[in-house]
Amino acid sequence: MGKIAFVLSGQGAQYTGMGKELCECSAAAKAVFDAADSIRTQTSAQCFEGTKEELSVTKNTQPCVFAVDLAAARAAQEAGINADYVAGFSLGEIAALAFGGIMSDEEAFKLVCRRAELMNDAAEENKGAMAAVLKLTPEKVEEICSGFEKAWPVNYNSPAQTVVAAQESELEALCAAVKEQKGKAVPLAVSGAFHSPFMESASAGLAEYLSGKSLNAPKIPVFANATAMPYEGDFASLITRQVKSPVLWQKTVENLASLGVDTFIECGPGKTLTGLIKKINPELKAFKLENKEDLDAIREQLLG
Which CATH number goes with the domain that contains 162?
3.30.70.250
**Domain boundary, last residue among 140, 163, 187:** 187
**Is pLDDT at 1 greater than 80 in this prediction?**
no
**Same domain? 97 vs 16:** yes
d(CA 274, CA 267): 10
Q: Tell me which residues are annotated as active site.
A: 90, 195
Same domain, 291 and 265: yes
Give pLDDT, residue 5: 98
284 in Cβ contact with 264 (< 8 Å): yes
Query: What is the C-alpha separation between 298 and 52, in angstroms, rounded?
Result: 28
Count of CA atoms in the C-beta half-sphere (13 A) of 255: 17
Instruction: Note the pLDDT of residue 190.
Output: 83
CATH of residue 260: 3.40.366.10
Indicate the helix (H) or strand (E) that contains 140: helix 138-145
Q: The dihedral of CA 223, 224, 229, 231: what is its sign?
A: negative
Confidence of residue 142 (pLDDT cuts 50, 70, 90): very high
Start-end of H helices in 146-194: 171-180
Which tens digits make up the pLDDT trace of 176-230?
999 999 999 999 988 899 999 999 999 999 999 999 899 999 999 999 999 999 9
| One domain for residues 154 and 73 | no
Same domain flag for 51 and 148: no
In this model, does residue 12 exceed pLDDT 90?
A: no
Domain boundary among 159, 187, 215: 187
Shortest CA distance to 169 belongs to which of 198, 139, 200, 204? 198
Residue numbers of the domain that contains 210: 3-124+196-303
Give the model's pLDDT for residue 147. Answer: 96
pLDDT higher than 80, residue 304? no
pLDDT of res. 25: 96
Average pLDDT in the 141-151 region?
Answer: 97
Does residue 235 share a domain with residue 203?
Answer: yes
Does the pLDDT at position 69 exceed 90? yes
